[in-house]
Chain A
Amino acid sequence: MRKMLLLFLFLVLFVVGISCAYAAEEQKSSVMITGYQISPEVLMRNDIGTVTVTVKNMEPVKSINIKEARMLGRDIKVLSGSYFNIGRLGPGESLNLSFTIKAGYTDGIYYPKVLIEAEGAQSIRYRIQVKVDSTPLTIGVKNIPEDIFKGERARIEFVVGNPRQNTVTGVKIVTEEKEVIPLEVFIGALSADESKVASFNFTPQTKGAHVLNFKLEFKNGDNQHSADLSVPLDVTESKKSAELILTGLEVESMLGMNVYKITGDINNAGLEEAKSVVMKVGDTEGIEAVHPYKAYFVGLLSPDDFSSFELNVKVGENVTNVPLIIEYKDEDGNLFSKTEYVSIERRQTTSSGEMPVSMSAVLVVIAILVIGAIAYSWKKR
């Protein structure tokens, strides 16, 4: 009987103990991390990003006091500190908590931990997957003319590709080359495995080898990145461009010895049209263009065509050559300039030089004749 009593007591205590333990277990509330976001989705080396975790109170009727939230990482550096005394989270409510992280110098997949401690609830330890991949955007020449000619506009096309797993933003190509327009082409956002084309116009003014330097800039999240591209080119003279030559040049004195009228023909011996052809007198010392033809507008000059022109110039005493500047444009509006020289011959017939010997002899003969006649008349008086 005593043994029976002891067994009964044990069973009662066991049942009570079990019940109490069960009751105590039921009092621990439930808090969960229902999701997280990483921006940018994939970091590059040394990038700074943010991790936003969503904490949700899973209790149907009971609110929970969140005491502390923090992130721990070994290979991923956590820049932001812990959250303390965050506050009560109502039943079914969720809360976003953000942490700032910084990638290291090695690509890979990392798992920093998020710890959540709540009053009356179990602590949560949650591992977050952070990828670090430093694959940059790619830039390449898509299309470029086989021959690039001096003074002619050449269109260069680039293709920019995104081999990364995430979208990058603010993609643009910039250059500081003076002969390239525009200096910047904005592409915008580029999704994973997407590519876009950007084009530039290059108008070289000199022959020979050129190296054009371009810079591809983009943002991964808030992190600025760039890649350089050099494009070597060989610029040659065009074989088909307009070729303007002057013929039938005549220099005529206008005002005394100083002002001359220069006339002639301008011919297009090339294979392309020369547009907006203008002739001017070079502005150098001792040479001054004067009205009415300080400059002469010829206009369009087709291949194998010619036009007459007239220019008026005032020259100094020592000037023997006058520079004539021929300016014209091609069909793309590129301006070309060429200088030809015209020699000035000073005409003796209009000069105020010394009296020639033959004239002096005539004068002497006449003087002798007149003086002789006068002397004779006085002698006969």
Chain B
Amino acid sequence: MIEVLTNPNKFFEARMKGEESLKIPAIIVLISGIIGGIVAFFMWGIIAEMLRGTVPPEAQGFISFMPIGSAIAFVIFSLIFWVVFAAILFGISYLFKGEGKFKRTLEFVGYGYIPMIFSGIIGAVLLYNFVSTAHIPVVTDPTMIEDALEPLMKNPMRQLSYAIGILFMLWSANIWVFGLKHARNLSTKNALITVAIPVAAYILFSIYQMGVM
């Protein structure tokens, strides 16, 4: 399994000889989703704490449900996004006359989520560290939540989390290049372009969030 990180070309070349199997990729995506869900739990925990002073007593239960609800939603969304992202790559590779089953693309894209697990763990640790030391402001006017979140989002810990996320996304992208090369029978160059388009969009969006939010 370690080979997918260090020598993905050889790993996927070997996997092409076997049957498509989504079992391991699904577990990888699920683990990644759970870790992302933990991060979401912490983030929405902060927001819920801020909003506690703005909602009536009868709505306090909903506020308490927000963190766990967002964590569950993130896990489900991760699985859906895996399929959607694989479909996007499958669609772009179609422009380069890619060949191969979608299930194989989905399988190989799932393996690319392994660096995301490391990114999620580091991000969760950083966020936990941030939450445990940060002073959470109390918001009494719902219209001022954006103002309240601004310093939290611009916190160095949060920015570091974004930067690490981008680095591990590059690592995942590297895996997807070789995965797509074999799954869709593309040249390395075409596989690189196929992956670069959505990944570049994601990285640009992350940089925008780091700078603007």
Residues of A within 8 A of B (CB): 252-257, 259, 261, 291-292, 312, 347, 349-356, 359, 362-363, 366-367, 370, 373-374, 376-378, 380-381
Contacts and interface: CB of A to CB of B under 8 A. Distances in A.
Nearest to A374: B174
B154 A377 contact: no
Contact of B159 (A347, A355, A380): A355
A380 B148 CA distance: 49
A359 B152 CA distance: 17
A358 to B, nearest CB: 10
B60 interface: no
A344 to B, nearest CB: 13
**Size class of the contact patch on chain B:** 35 or more
Nearest to B149: A256
Q: Which residue among A292, A351, A376, A377 has the maximum number of chain B CB atoms within 10 Å of its CB? A: A377
Contacts of B175: 377
Contact of A256 (B140, B141, B148, B168): B148
A293 to B, nearest CB: 9
Contact of B147 (A252, A256, A355, A377): A256
A371 to B, nearest CB: 8
B150 A256 contact: yes
Nearest to A376: B6
Nearest to B118: A366
A355 B148 CA distance: 20
A142 to B, nearest CB: 59
A241 B134 CA distance: 44
Nearest to B168: A370
B48 interface: no
A288 to B, nearest CB: 14
B117 to A, nearest CB: 14
Contact of B7 (A347, A359, A370, A376): A376
Contacts of B200: none
Given A254-B140, A256-B137, A380-B7, A351 B151 contact: yes
8 contacts: A257-B151, A349-B133, A352-B151, A362-B160, A363-B163, A373-B174, A377-B175, A380-B9
Interface in B120-172: 122, 130, 133-135, 137-141, 144, 147-148, 150-152, 154-157, 159-160, 163-164, 167-168, 170-171
A292 B139 CA distance: 11
Contacts of B168: 366, 370
Nearest to A257: B151
Nearest to B158: A352
Given A254-B138, A256-B148, A366 B122 contact: yes
A370 B171 contact: yes
Given A253-B135, A374-B170, A380-B9, A354 B156 contact: yes
A353 B167 contact: no
